[in-house]
């Protein structure tokens, strides 16, 4: 772990402390700090250790479920997608199931995120597709892999690998998803369910 990683962990812990401190008076801002701190911890530990820090993933899953239930913090679709993938990648199927039961407002979400959410949540709760979306090539390969898993058809998940390689340094830069193909790990968990 280098000096920058130590600073990242210190910043993440400060963000968590601040978030928990202001959560009772300002739930949205408090949850934002908690989310940011946990994601920075997860990304930094994953980068340094090479393993997904399951305790931190489970903590952010619990904190999100609790914030939804007690603080009336509305979870946005993109965060739900990321948390579902992280929970599954860390083998927290119960946490993923609880997250999938949270209704999110798709309001300003990109059609990709809406479609991804529809397919991913369908493993846990009945879903009706909310959007048709003209996906890019790598996005469609990701959707095809998920559709195959949902239909209990065989897939080698190479579409998921293609999607990750196409997006890890752009869409997911600075996140745990840029460091490791957590989509593949999560989808392997879905395959075993």
What are the boundaries of each domain within the chain? 108-193
**What's the pLDDT score for residue 132?**
82
pLDDT reported for residue 73: 84
Pull the structure tokens for residue 160: 């998921």
Burial class of 26 by CB neighbour count within 10 A (0 to 12, 13 to 18, 19+): middle
Residues 85-105 have a mean pLDDT of 96
pLDDT grade for 128, boundaries at 50, 70 and 90: confident
Q: pTM for the full model?
A: 0.95
- Please, which pLDDT band fits residue 105 given cuts at 50, 70 and 90? confident
Site of tokens 């990304």: 43
Which 8-state DSSP code applies to residue 21? H
Query: Is 3:42 a contact under the CB 8 Å cutoff?
Result: no
Is it the case that residue 15 has pLDDT exceeding 90?
yes
Q: Helix (H, G, I), strand (E, B), or coil: what is residue 43?
A: helix
């Amino acid at each position: 772990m280098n000096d920058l990683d130590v600073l990242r962990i210190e910043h993440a812990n400060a963000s968590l402390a601040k978030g928990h401190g202001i959560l009772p008076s300002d739930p949205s801002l408090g949850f934002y700090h908690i989310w940011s701190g946990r994601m920075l911890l997860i990304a930094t530990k994953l980068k340094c250790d090479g393993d997904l820090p399951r305790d931190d993933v489970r903590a952010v899953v619990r904190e999100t479920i609790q914030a939804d239930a007690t603080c009336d913090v509305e979870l946005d679709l993109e965060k739900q997608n990321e948390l579902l993938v992280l929970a599954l990648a860390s083998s927290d199927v119960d946490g993923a199931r609880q997250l999938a039961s949270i209704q999110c407002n798709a309001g300003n979400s990109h059609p990709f995120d809406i479609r991804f959410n529809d397919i991913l949540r369908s493993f846990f709760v009945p879903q009706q597709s909310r959007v048709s979306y003209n996906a890019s090539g790598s996005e469609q390969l990701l959707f095809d892999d998920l559709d195959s898993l949902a239909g209990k058809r065989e897939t080698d998940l190479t579409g998921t690998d293609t999607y990750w390689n196409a997006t890890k340094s752009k869409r997911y830069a600075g996140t745990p998803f840029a460091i490791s193909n957590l989509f593949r790990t999560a989808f392997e968990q879905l395959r075993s369910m």
